[in-house]
């Protein structure tokens, strides 16, 4: 199955470092970020999971659960977590999924064609495409997807920014411009007529072009 924006995120049952989960039930009524890495006890992944652990309080404030995944077994995750805390200064307090049979990785199209059905004997290089991020809404739909090559650590500050944009634009009929950051001006989407926009933004807007209507970020 090819996943796209607004696809329903595949549901699954899995073992994690915090016990078994059913993914949709685990998400509950909030948002979620599922992110994967190629292999435990590897350098780039160690920096990524440690940084994500440091950001967890900010995701908590946004009613967003985070969960990691690799095709390693849960027992490996638990051992590796000690290295992450020691080297990165943040304890991993979010769950990590063990996916040795590649079930979740396959459902989310994280692996190349012909990847097989087991992680046994696989190296990080075999799992080169497994550095993915999925932002999932309360409706269990995929709101955003990112995939990075094995050699490039992700920018999780960007993932946080992307989540903030997704949440804002899900609540208000606006879009966020290039390099937008929380609190900055936003754009009224073309589907909103000028008449409807006047009702919501009685103070008006800046419009360097008729189709480019810029207003302060709406209050929650």
Structure confidence by residue, pLDDT tens digits, 37-66: 999 999 999 999 999 999 999 999 999 999
147 and 195 share one domain: no
Return the CATH number at 100: 3.40.30.10
Arithmetic mean of pLDDT over the chain = 93
Local structure of 166: helix, strand or coil: helix
pLDDT of residue 114: 59
Range of the domain at 185: 172-215
Domain count, the chain: 2
Residue range 147-161: average pLDDT? 94
* 195, burial (CB in 10 Å: exposed 0-12, middle 13-18, buried 19+): exposed
26 and 108 share one domain: yes
The CA-to-CA distance between both ends of the chain, in Å, stands at 36
Structure tokens at 210: 């008729």
Is residue 51 domain-resident?
A: yes
List residues with catalytic annotation: 45
pLDDT at 154 over 80: yes
DSSP character at residue 216: P
Residue range 129-157: average pLDDT? 93
């Amino acid at each position: 199955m090819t996943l796209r924006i607004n696809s329903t995120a595949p549901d699954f049952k899995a073992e994690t470092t915090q016990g078994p989960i059913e993914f949709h039930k685990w998400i509950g009524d909030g948002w979620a970020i599922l992110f994967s890495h190629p292999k435990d006890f590897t350098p780039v992944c160690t920096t990524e999971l440690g940084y994500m652990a440091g950001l967890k309080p900010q995701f908590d404030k946004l009613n967003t659960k985070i969960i990691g995944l690799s095709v390693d077994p849960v027992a490996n995750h638990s051992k590796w977590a000690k290295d992450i805390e020691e080297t990165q200064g943040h304890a991993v307090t979010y769950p990590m999924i063990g996916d040795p049979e590649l079930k979740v990785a396959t459902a989310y199209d994280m692996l190349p064609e012909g990847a097989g059905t087991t992680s046994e004997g696989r190296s990080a290089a075999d799992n080169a495409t497994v550095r993915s991020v999925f932002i999932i809404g309360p409706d269990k739909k995929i709101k955003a997807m990112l995939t990075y090559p094995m050699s490039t650590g992700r920018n999780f500050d960007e993932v946080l920014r992307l989540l903030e944009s997704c949440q804002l634009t899900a609540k208000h009929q606006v879009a966020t411009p290039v390099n937008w950051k929380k609190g900055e001006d936003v754009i009224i989407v073309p589907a909103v007529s000028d008449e409807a926009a006047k009702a919501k933004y009685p103070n008006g807007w800046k419009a360097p072009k008729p189709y480019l209507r810029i207003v302060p970020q709406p209050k929650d």
